[in-house]
Amino acid sequence: MKMAAFPRALALAAGLLPLLPGAVQAQGDWPNKPVRIIASFAPGGSSDLVARQVAQHLSARYGQQFIVENRAGAGGNIGVDFVAKSAPDGYTLGLATSGPLANNKSLYNPMPFDPEKDLSPIALVGEIPLMIAVNPSVKASTLSELVALSKSAPQALSIANPGNGTIGHLAVEYLRINTGAEFQSVPYKGDAPAMAGALSGSVAGVSTPVTSLIPQIQAGKLKALAVTSKARFSGLPDVPTANEQGVKLEATVWSAMVGPAGLPESIVTSLNQAINQYTSSPEGKAKLASLGMTALSGTPAQLRQLMASEAAKWKRIVEAAKISVE
């Protein structure tokens, strides 16, 4: 009987295997209804568009609607807080940026949620590097030359950023603290006004995500000194990284999918595989590149580690520069 039972059990197990598409079957029939992806910024921006691209892929992958819902405000905190306080059933996810997932922890007091305790990291999606560019009248052609120029100038060089506490602001403070550069950070209300300040010569330069600067760099209206990612940006391959110039600086706006804490591991694993499939594909890379984003992939554990390391890195800068966001 035992010998007869074993082949039957083996055959049953073999028959079940084709029904397991990844790990998702371990959580029953998820998803059996539409899934919300909360985008923590306003419609039409790069974060919103990235969320919609990922949602389209997941809808096709799972045969179920993944619907983007915008909940903007407080540097991305409002949308991510909504995710953190949602039921961990796989039907509310968040496409968030490095602000609410790491940097804001040191900037906002109090924070409505703890990214490390209240969220389930799922998958990295991509990153947009910063660019430091200057008005053509500034006598510096590299970032290292700009740092040296700032130390010899009669007064601190003014560098625009998209707003108090933004990654563009933090990057300039990082340079000032770690290189001794004499920079004055000038906050504007968004990328476009900050760029306009550099174009007009009201400020010497600008530190902001690269996407808004590409047309002005290509037209020669601004002079690109460095991108702040590990590798050069494919959209402007002739612009060297800060690290290539001997100036230690990595600062990007990265995006990732997260869920509420306690999200079943089977759902996390399945979503991670599906998103990595997209960001590793030629189609996914091309679509993200059209938004100025470099596609990324990795495990949930790697995303958790990135969230923690970035939070620690920028906490030091925020405290040293005494930055706060009301």
Residue 149: name the closest of 132, 129, 164, 165 by CA: 132
Per-residue pLDDT tens digits for 164-189:
999 999 999 999 999 999 999 999 99
CB neighbour list of residue 146: distance below 8 Å, 6 or more residues apart? 132, 134, 138, 140, 157, 181, 205, 225
Q: Which helix (H) or strand (E) is 54 found in, with range? A: helix 46-62
Residue type, 304: R
Q: How far apart are CA 49 and CA 76, in angstroms?
A: 15
**Does position 19 have pLDDT exceeding 80, yes or no?**
no
Q: Indicate the SS3 state at residue 243.
A: helix
Q: Is the pLDDT of residue 20 over 80?
A: no
pLDDT attached to residue 170: 97
Q: What are all long-range contacts of 298-302, with beta carbons under 8 Å and residues at least 24 apart? A: 298/123, 298/124, 299/272, 300/120, 300/121, 300/122, 300/123, 300/268, 300/269, 300/272, 301/121, 302/124
* Lowest-confidence pick of 23-37, 64-78, 155-169, 226-240: 23-37
pTM: 0.88
**Are the C-beta atoms of 164 and 325 separated by less than 8 Å?**
yes
Q: Are 160 and 206 in contact (CB under 8 A)?
A: yes
Band (13; pLDDT cuts 50, 70, 90)? very low
